[in-house]
Amino acid sequence: MSDVIREQIAYYRARAGEYDEWFYRVGRYDRGEAHNARWFDEVEAVMTALRGVGPVGGALELAAGTGNFTQVLATMADVVVAVDASTEVMMINRQKLKQAHVSYVQADLFTWEPEATYDLVFMSFWLSHVPPDKLDGFLSKVRRAMKAGGQVFMVDSLRDQSQTSSAVNHAAYDPESIYHTRKLNDGQYYRIVKVFYDARLVETLARHGIQARYETSGDYFWWAQGTTASF
Ligand SMILES: C[S@@+](CC[C@H](N)C(=O)[O-])C[C@H]1O[C@@H](n2cnc3c(N)ncnc32)[C@H](O)[C@@H]1O
Backbone angles phi, psi at 165, to 5 degrees: -75, -35
Which pLDDT band holds residue 161 (cuts at 50, 70, 90)?
low
Lowest mean pLDDT among 24-33, 164-173, 204-213: 164-173
Which pLDDT band holds residue 11 (cuts at 50, 70, 90)?
very high
Q: Which atom of ligand 1 is nearest to the CA of 109?
A: 20
pLDDT of residue 32: 84
Q: Which value, in Å, is the radius of gyration of the alpha carbons in the chain?
A: 17
pLDDT of residue 167: 65
Rounded to whole angstroms, the Cα distance separating 169 from 99 reads: 36
Which residue would you say has higher pLDDT here, 104 or 20? 104
Which residue would you say has higher pLDDT here, 230 or 121? 121
pLDDT tens-digit readout, 60-100: 999 999 999 999 999 999 999 999 999 999 999 999 999 99
Question: How large is the angle between the packed helices 3-15 and 87-97, nearest 10 degrees?
Answer: 40
* Torsion of Cα atoms, 227 then 215 then 217 then 97, to 10°: 10
Residues having CB within 6 Å of any atom of ligand 1: 5, 8-9, 12, 23, 63-66, 68-69, 84-86, 89, 108-110, 124-126, 129
Q: For residue 8, with 0-12 CB atoms within 10 Å meaning exposed, 13-18 middle and 19 or more buried, which class applies?
A: buried
**Residue 138 clears pLDDT 80, i.e. is over it:** yes
Q: Quote the strand ranges of the chain, DSSP E.
A: 56-62, 77-84, 102-106, 118-124, 146-157, 179-183, 189-193, 210-216, 221-228
CATH architecture of residue range(s) 3-228:
3-Layer(aba) Sandwich (3.40)
Q: Which atom of ligand 1 is nearest to the CA of 61?
A: 6
Q: How far is CA 49 from the centre of its chain?
A: 15
Which pLDDT band holds residue 5 (cuts at 50, 70, 90)?
very high
Q: How far is CA 174 from the centre of its chain?
A: 22
**Residue 166 clears pLDDT 80, i.e. is over it:** no
Give the up-direction half-sphere exposure of residue 13: CA atoms within 13 A in the CB hemisphere: 12
Q: What is the mean pLDDT of residues 97-122?
A: 97
Paired strand residues for 64: none
- Asked if residues 141 and 173 have their Cβ atoms less than 8 Å apart, the reply is no
pLDDT of residue 174: 73
Q: What is the mean pLDDT of residues 17-28?
A: 89
CA of 63 to the centre of ligand 1 (A): 4
CA of 230 to the centre of ligand 1 (A): 31
Residue nearest to atom 12 of ligand 1 (CA): 63
pLDDT of residue 177: 87
Q: What is the chain's mean pLDDT, rounded?
A: 93
pLDDT of residue 108: 98
Q: Structural domain boundaries of the chain?
A: 3-228
